[in-house]
Amino acid sequence: MDALDRAIDMTARLVAFDTESAKSNLPLIDFVESYLREHGVPFVRAPNAAGDKAAIFATIGPMGPGGVVLSGHTDVVPVEGQDWSSDPFTLRLDGGRLYGRGAVDMKGFGAVALAMIPEFKRAALARPIHILLSYDEETTCLGPLDVIARLGVDLPRPNAVIVGEPTSMQVADAHKSVTTHLTRVRGFEIHSANLHRGVSAVHIACRLVGELERIADELRAAGDPSGRFDPPYSTIHVGVIKGGTARNIVAKDCHFEWEFRGLPNADPMFAHDRLAAFAAELGKTAFANFPQCGIDIDTLVKVPGLAPEPGSSAETLALRLARRNSTIAVPYATEAGHFQEAGAPTVVCGPGRIDQAHQPDEYVEVSQLAACVEFMRALARELEA
């Protein structure tokens, strides 16, 4: 069985594990550990605090600094409510495409890395190749943090990190940050005929959302000086809003969930801080006679952006391996920003197209897995003695 056939088989095996983010990924991690043992590859497991999920970090080659991390996540988004043509957890080959949940986002990349282990072991590696498979990228992006904190401590510090999110095997050196927030408004409940004697949490929440719209307009007007992103500006989006109990009751509670996707040079907390300042001023008048009322803004997720580092070891290496002359920017966030914040030069480069991610009948092209195989073969040659 050649490397591409092994990659397809491994993709099928990984897709078969239902690792939706709300569920445990431990059965998949157990499988990977067994596979690594079969090939004599050392690894460490990094469980989460609850013990129901884990990341795994494997090393092929010498256990020393200067190697390359191939990073991917094991969790996938839910399939509930999506109209699939076949079982989403059974990989299906049709017309040169491999269909299945996670095939492109991003079990295909992890499968190629695992399938290449026999070739990695045959290479005379002077510097190591590390494979990191993490969890919760689709929700919090916190899954790889425990391993990242250990790089250069009890795990080797790499010279470059390649995050395998789908880029059609182009090299991305920049992506936006994502910060998500939950805003809660506490009003004063009363019959709506006596509106003046209460405070509507729904009305206050709407004023806050309106302020977010004004901030979003400013960001749109400021644009993207680099000219690399689509859309070409930082964005704000309110995805969920809930509040009130009945049409004729002044709402006691209301909350809304929202996100800020910032250009790499933008402060991830910019929109949060602006809204917090507006809320403080609003509360002075709206809650003047209602001390029990208030506004709380909690930050749920904070994923740093990936800033360009022209000429970095990761960019130079990935461009050479991918046979590309230039980099791209992507609008979605990954764990790449966490690696960069830890001082590890990082790029994003993986098989498939991001517009297939999270979709019913998600797929990755076999040709893209083949290109990823060649990329990793070139990596092994690069790290040979």
Q: Global pTM?
A: 0.93
pLDDT > 90: percent of the chain: 98
Q: Flag whether pLDDT at 266 surpasses 90.
A: yes
Q: Does 137 participate in catalysis according to the annotation?
A: yes
Q: How confident is the model at residue 1 (pLDDT cuts 50, 70, 90)?
A: confident
DSSP 3-state of 202 = helix
Q: Does 75 participate in catalysis according to the annotation?
A: yes
| Mean pLDDT of the region 232-258 | 97
Give CA–CA dist 218/235, Å, rounded.
10
DSSP 3-state of 38 = helix
**Whose CA is closest to 163, among 25, 359, 333?**
333
Give CA–CA dist 97/304, Å, rounded.
33
Determine the straight-line distance between the first and last CA of the chain, rounded to whole angstroms. 27
Reported as a single tens digit per residue, the pLDDT across 19-36 is: 999 999 999 999 999 999
Omega prior to 232 cis, within 30 of 0? no
Task: Please provide the DSSP assignment of 114-143 as one string.
Answer: HHTHHHHHHS-BSS-EEEEEES-TTTTS-T
Tokens describing residue 375: 């990329």
CA dihedral 273, 277, 282, 287 (to 10 degrees): 90
Domain with CATH 3.40.630.10 in the chain: 3-174+305-383
Omega prior to 10 cis, within 30 of 0? no
Give CA–CA dist 282/365, Å, rounded.
52
Q: How far is CA 239 from the centre of its chain?
A: 18
Q: Flag whether pLDDT at 385 surpasses 90.
A: no
Tell the CATH topology of 3-174+305-383.
Answer: Aminopeptidase (3.40.630)
Reported as a single tens digit per residue, the pLDDT across 330-357 is: 989 999 999 999 999 999 999 999 999 9
Q: How confident is the model at residue 152 (pLDDT cuts 50, 70, 90)?
A: very high
Give CA–CA dist 138/106, Å, rounded.
11
| Mean pLDDT of the region 223-244 | 96
DSSP 3-state of 63 = coil
Q: How far is CA 308 from the centre of its chain?
A: 18
CA dihedral 136, 137, 142, 143 (to 10 degrees): 60
Instruction: Say which of 75, 136, 315, 362 is annotated catalytic.
Output: 75
Instruction: Say which of 20, 105, 136, 137 is annotated catalytic.
Output: 137
Tell the CATH topology of 177-303.
Answer: Alpha-Beta Plaits (3.30.70)
Domain with CATH 3.30.70.360 in the chain: 177-303
| Mean pLDDT of the region 77-96 | 97
